[in-house]
Amino acid sequence: MQSFAERAGVNRGTLSAIINRNPPRKISVRELDLITKGMGLPEGELYNLYAEECFIQSVPHWRRLKPFLLRCAQTGKLVCIEKVLVMLLDNLSHIGEIFATAEQMYEQGYMEASQILYQSVIEGEKYNNSERLAVSHYRVFQMAVGKDMEANLRAALQFEPYRKSLPVELRLDALVELLKIYFFIHNWRHIIELSDELIQQSQAAFRERKRRRKNSTSLRRDPVWLRRSLIHYYGQGYLCKATALQKMGDFEEARMEISRYSDLSWLEPASDEEEQEVMKYTSWARANSYTLDILAGRQEVLDDYADFLREHPEEILSGLATIIQSANKYNFSIDDILWKFFDEISGFESYNDSVSMERRLRFAIQISIYYFRRGRFNEGIESCLKALDLAVTTNNETVLAEAVALFEAYRSYSGPSQEQIFKTVIEQMRVRTTLKYSMQL
């Protein structure tokens, strides 16, 4: 006993009480870890037995159960978490503790473990308008979002009915994330609705911040905590609304919304970072004003816009996609502009975030149309295949169908290697579609 106690780093009296006392002294998860290490077993090896004997066969105390759940998250013993939670859901009084532990796991980066706990809250919470139910749905939504647009939309539809029960600091972020998803599927009317909600919530947060600061004795601490500045949320609301109006062809209304985020200095930026954010939206307003001019076919501003893009390289991908779209609509040449940005176009493949992927997809399909119309068939086929590949990666069925139709229209100009790439892409989509519908059955 003494030898093992020294080896494990456990007090001998504690070890004796665990083994010899009747009933035995309850083991803490820390003591279990020390005993496991003393036995020369892998970390967490005894967690399954521990869950069975200490939590499932007897009523657990949360003070002992929470450290165990956190250790299971740290060691990846997710099955143990699931076993214990099945038992806990028989007693709804633990919902609050489960939620708080899920939040702690989420903050510490244990996403898979926290998702199991959030799902338990969703299944066990009896009040549909409760804040913790809304937050749990939001966290599951956040973890589900990736490059697959169809999966993102499903996640958004499941979460969206709960967004209004979120606390304001999460609701603002949730609206921004929802706007991104609906932007990808081009649901412009819903984007306008969500944008208006984001602007209204930003205004409410701004008024509350002003009220609390007025009544606060301390001016050092911000009385309304937000993950991002109000400049960001206001700007995103007006930016997304203007973009949706532009996509719907309402250019005059779009210009009005652009003017609203062209100068956000009235939001009283409190740091250099916030000053930079004000300048960023001013720059975007200028860029999007150019976009409206280009889409209206004003070729006289092309050179000025190209100079602007050169000064703001982060706008090049989106800007060139707009220029090509206008060139296709009004049938004018932009070969000189494409040549000016040859190096930048070659580097587009390194842009892999969700927003850039959508822009790359739009660029690829538009430039393939441009090349085909100008008789540059090999370049058109190559760009069309890039659009196909991006459509498969993002699971964008709308653009996929457009790219397939475009390829078929000019298929006679493709070579053997291009034919093989096309067949491979189509087979990937066939397998994915078959799998999707078989799972639904």
pLDDT at res. 435: 65
What sign does the dihedral 241-246-252-258 (CA atoms) show? positive
Number of Cβ atoms within 10 Å of the Cβ of 25: 15
The pLDDT score that the predictor gives to residue 102 is 96
* Sign of the torsion angle spanned by Cα atoms 386, 390, 392, 397: negative
C-beta separation of 120 from 89 below 8 A: yes
Identify whether 51 is part of a domain. Answer: no
Q: How far apart are CA 87 and CA 416, in angstroms?
A: 60
Give, for all 441 residues of the chain, the pLDDT tens digit. Answer: 889 888 888 888 888 888 888 777 888 889 899 999 999 999 989 998 888 887 766 666 788 889 999 999 999 999 999 988 887 776 677 889 999 999 999 999 999 999 999 999 999 888 888 999 999 999 999 999 987 888 899 999 999 999 999 998 899 999 999 999 998 888 999 999 999 999 999 998 888 888 877 776 554 455 457 889 999 999 999 999 999 999 999 999 999 999 999 999 998 888 999 999 999 999 999 999 999 999 999 999 999 999 999 999 988 999 999 999 999 999 999 999 999 999 999 888 888 887 788 889 999 999 999 999 999 999 999 999 999 988 888 888 888 889 999 999 999 999 999 999 999 988 888 777 776 655 554
Q: Any idea what the Cα angle at residue 258 is, between residues 254 and 264, rounded to 5°?
A: 155
Residue 81 lies in a domain: no
3-state secondary structure of 173: helix
CA distances from 39 to 10, 34, 72 (A): 12, 9, 19
* In a domain? residue 159: no
> Which pair of structure tokens corresponds to residue 1?
């006993």
Quickly tell me which residue has 């998702």 as its tokens: 115
DSSP 60-127: PPHHHHHHHHHHHHHHT-HHHHHHHHHHHTTSGGGHHHHHHHHHHHHHHT-HHHHHHHHHHHHHH---
Q: How many domains does the chain have?
A: 1
Q: Tell whether 426 is covered by a domain.
A: no
What confidence score (pLDDT) does residue 380 get?
95
Q: How many residues in the chain? A: 441
Residue-wise pLDDT tens digits, 133-177: 999 999 999 999 987 888 899 999 999 999 999 998 899 999 999
Residue 185 lies in a domain: yes
Could you tell me if residue 188 is inside a domain? yes
Cα–Cα separations (whole angstroms), residue 440 to 147, 393, 434, 435: 21, 21, 10, 9
CA distance 386 to 382: 6
Query: Is there a domain that residue 234 lies in?
Result: yes
For residues 141 and 351, what is the distance between their CA atoms, to the nearest angstrom? Answer: 24
Give the domain CATH number at 191: 1.25.40
Domain of residue 262 covers 167-211+226-282
330-335: long-range contacts (C-beta < 8 A, 24 or more apart)? 330/297, 330/299, 331/373, 332/299, 333/374, 334/302, 334/370
Over residues 211-259, the pLDDT tens digits come to 877 776 554 455 457 889 999 999 999 999 999 999 999 999 999 999 9
Examine residue 383 and state whether it is found in any structural domain, yes or no: no
**What is the C-alpha separation between 6 and 10, in angstroms, rounded?**
7
Spatial contact of 12 and 2, defined as CB atoms under 8 Å apart: yes
